[in-house]
Amino acid sequence: MSIEKVIEIDHISVSYPEKKTTFMNLRKDKGGDYQALRDISFDVHKGEVLGIIGRNGSGKSTLLKILSGLIEPDEGSVRLHQQTPVLLSLGAGFDPELSGIDNIYLNGLFLGQSKKKIDEKLEEILDYADIGNFVYKPVRTYSSGMKARLAFSTAITLDPDILLIDEILGVGDQQFKEKSKETILEKIRQDRTVILVTHSAGLVKEICERVVWIHKGEQKAVGSTKDVLPQYNEFMKAEKAKKQQ
């Protein structure tokens, strides 16, 4: 693994004007904003698979939104040394009323590709997604597995240097999960960088070299998977036991 840095995240914090959902453990600053991330710092290395783990609501998706430029941090900085990473999350950027094909164009153009490039890649995207005649139907009629297939195949075929994947590999049938995992491993062999948000400790163990563990918006640990994952698993086990008491 190279230690060339492709992203440097330096002490970032993010607040939302108010919290989206009601949780027992509200974290508010003095002004009443909801602080989703606090003082996060880590680097991403070229060609690595970096896992972002943490229980529900810990701030993982917010972190990916920052990395893809969808939102900006209130404090701290994100330095990108390659093109802006492409965010791949379930149905992000899909218009439910449009067909699968129209959504491929919509997403491709949104990701900065020309219509000509998407025309050239269309067959490959459709082959990979393998959802048959559903590509002509509105996306609102798709199962979550079909949406995941289409989103994954569109983004992966357009071949970004850095790919951000939000939970998408947990969705869909076993065969597609295996196929998408293989494709990611292939991208890594080509020195692409992958940042993966997942609840699956098994997947992290299998494909991530390093892990960032976020808990309640704070960085609990950053390090090699073999060091951080056991701590996380222990923590989750203890949390579960507490709930059962």
Ligand X SMILES: Nc1ncnc2c1ncn2[C@@H]1O[C@H](COP(=O)(O)OP(=O)(O)OP(=O)(O)O)[C@@H](O)[C@H]1O
Residues that bind ligand X (CB under 6 A): 16, 19-21, 23, 34, 36, 54, 56-62
**Distance in Å, CB of 24 to ligand X, minimum:** 11
**Distance in Å, CB of 172 to ligand X, minimum:** 17
Closer CB to ligand X, 170 or 223, in the complex? 170
Closer CB to ligand X, 129 or 168, in the complex? 168
**Distance in Å, CB of 222 to ligand X, minimum:** 16
Closer CB to ligand X, 62 or 180, in the complex? 62
Give the CA angle between residues 142, 146, 152 to the nearest 5°: 135
SS3 191: coil
For residue 174, which phi and psi values (nearest 5 degrees)? -60, -40
Q: Extract the tokens encoding 200.
A: 């699956």
Closer CB to ligand X, 57 or 138, in the complex? 57
Contact present, 142 and 73 (Cβ < 8 Å): no
Closer CB to ligand X, 90 or 111, in the complex? 90
**Distance in Å, CB of 61 to ligand X, minimum:** 3
Cα–Cα dist 153/104, whole Å: 9
H/E element, 214: strand 210-215
**Distance in Å, CB of 33 to ligand X, minimum:** 9
Cα–Cα dist 233/12, whole Å: 26
